[in-house]
């Protein structure tokens, strides 16, 4: 069975994990001293939270990981009572090798407050011989009573320079040629989620033996940034009717909604030095709000174009 690239190239030790150097340094000290408190890892998806705790478990229990580590999804649809029973069965048994056990609970932030309070009691009941690592995307969705029982580590997105080297390494190992424009295109769709990027690469490799810009956009369904620049230039320079026709055609061609287009155009706009930029951005924020409220997309498209036409002079 062929492993997905995300698993094949998942780092097994802390020093191999990209980014979050300060977090890795602190955790490395804990591992070296064989001290692991209850921890809360939080941050955006694909930033290495699960990979990090798995690396820690491999370093703490190199020869008996299975008997010392239990990984669960805290939002298990079977309910907190089933999760509690799994934890109880695991934590109440004594390992022949001795030492504390580790329970990894993912997606804690998707639990209800009642579920999190139940989890708090679980941690209290089994803290004597078990350490818990809670993983979440949003710290704000974790109740204070849980947060106060954990040492918190925030995971940030990895910078693109380091991602560049990792993607090049994977392609070399897989004997896949990636062109410079293919690598640039792949990095241009990177939004901080390393797992998603490697999954995208996996999909491209399954279709092509040479990766170029066209292959990246074809497989991922992403759009070349130059096309958004062309739309921006139309908004600045063309008549209202031409801009309307350009964006309407673009939406149909790429099956994309107006809100996604606006987000990309704003990225272009904030890097430009034009008159009334902040007024345009304020008007665009109002349009985004109305789109979120379910207002007509066609009317909001016309309003979006008007932001540029009315404020360019």
Contact, 207 vs 269, CB < 8 A? no
pLDDT at res. 98: 63
Average pLDDT on 10-34 reads 89
Nearest to 263 by CA among 296, 234, 223: 223
pLDDT at 161 over 60: yes
Report the domain count for the chain: 3
Kindly report the CATH number assigned to the domain that includes residue 300: 1.20.272.10
User: Could you read off the pLDDT of 204-249 as tens digits, one per residue?
Assistant: 988 888 899 889 888 888 888 889 999 999 999 999 999 999 999 9
Q: Name the token pair of 223.
A: 């759009």
Kindly report the CATH number assigned to the domain that includes residue 28: 3.40.50.300
Q: Please indicate, yes or no, whether residues 74 and 127 belong to a single structural domain of this protein.
A: yes
For the CA atoms of the chain, what is the radius of gyration?
A: 24
287 lies in which domain range?
Answer: 225-311
Q: Please indicate, yes or no, whether residues 44 and 181 belong to a single structural domain of this protein.
A: no
pLDDT at res. 290: 93
User: Could you read off the pLDDT of 32-71 as tens digits, one per residue?
Assistant: 888 889 999 999 998 999 999 999 998 888 877 777 888 8
CA 64 to chain centroid, in Å, comes to 30
Least confident of 22-26, 53-57, 150-154, 185-189: 185-189
Q: Please indicate, yes or no, whether residues 233 and 176 belong to a single structural domain of this protein.
A: no
Q: Please indicate, yes or no, whether residues 61 and 174 belong to a single structural domain of this protein.
A: no
CA atoms within 13 A on the CB side of 185: 24
- 0.85 surpassed by pTM: no
């Amino acid at each position: 069975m062929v492993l997905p690239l995300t698993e094949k190239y998942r780092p097994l030790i802390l020093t191999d994990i990209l980014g979050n150097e300060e977090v890795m340094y602190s955790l490395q000290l804990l591992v070296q001293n064989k001290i692991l408190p209850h921890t809360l890892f939080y941050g955006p998806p694909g930033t290495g939270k699960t990979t990090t705790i798995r690396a820690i478990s491999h370093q703490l229990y190199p020869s008996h990981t299975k008997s010392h580590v239990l990984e669960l999804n805290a939002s298990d649809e079977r309910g907190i009572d089933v999760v509690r029973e799994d934890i109880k069965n695991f934590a109440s048994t004594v390992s022949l090798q001795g030492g504390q056990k580790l329970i990894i609970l993912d997606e804690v932030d998707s639990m209800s407050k009642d579920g999190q309070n139940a989890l708090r009691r679980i941690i209290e009941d089994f803290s004597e011989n078990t350490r818990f690592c809670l993983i979440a995307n949003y710290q704000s969705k974790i109740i204070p009573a849980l947060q106060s029982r954990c040492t918190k580590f925030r995971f940030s997105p990895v910078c693109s320079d380091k991602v560049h080297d990792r993607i090049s390494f994977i392609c070399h190992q897989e004997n896949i040629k990636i062109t410079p424009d293919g690598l640039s295109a792949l990095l241009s769709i990177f939004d901080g989620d390393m797992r998603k990027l490697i999954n995208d690469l996996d999909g491209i490799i399954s279709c092509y033996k040479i990766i170029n810009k066209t292959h990246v956009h074809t497989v991922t369904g992403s759009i070349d940034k130059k096309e958004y620049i062309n739309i921006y230039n139309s908004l600045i320079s063309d008549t209202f009717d031409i801009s309307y026709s350009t964006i309407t055609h673009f939406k149909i061609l790429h099956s994309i909604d107006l809100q996604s287009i606006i987000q990309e155009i704003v990225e272009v706009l904030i890097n430009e030095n034009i008159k009334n930029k902040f007024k345009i951005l304020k008007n665009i924020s109002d349009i985004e709000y109305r789109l979120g409220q379910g207002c007509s997309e066609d009317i909001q498209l016309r309003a979006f174009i008007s932001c540029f036409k009315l404020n360019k002079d």
